[in-house]
Amino acid sequence: MSRKEHHVVPNGDGWSVKKAGATRASVNTNTKTEAVRIGYVISQRQGSNLRIHGKDGKIQSAKKPASSRRKR
């Protein structure tokens, strides 16, 4: 079974949130901060991981939605 993931990626002068394997973006924003905020909400709702890329396209960090974190 493949993991569900969303990615924050650079898109021209702005940033996009894309589901892994998708050709179209779920959302386009002007700033990376806004894309990360929206991407995190999307990943929480869909139970997916969020991968945050830099301008060079390399993954800088990853976030897991609160709903998938193990509670103690």
Domain boundaries, the chain: 5-64
67 confidence band (pLDDT: 50, 70, 90): low
Average pLDDT over residues 33-60: 95
C-alpha 28/C-alpha 54 separation (Å) is 15
C-alpha 59/C-alpha 68 separation (Å) is 20
DSSP 30-72: SSHHHHHHHHHHHHHHHT-EEEEE-TTS-EEEEE--GGGSPP-
pLDDT given for residue 64 in this prediction = 84
Is pLDDT above 60 for 71? no
Average pLDDT, the chain: 89
Q: State the DSSP code for 23.
A: S
38 confidence band (pLDDT: 50, 70, 90): very high
pTM of full prediction above 0.75: yes
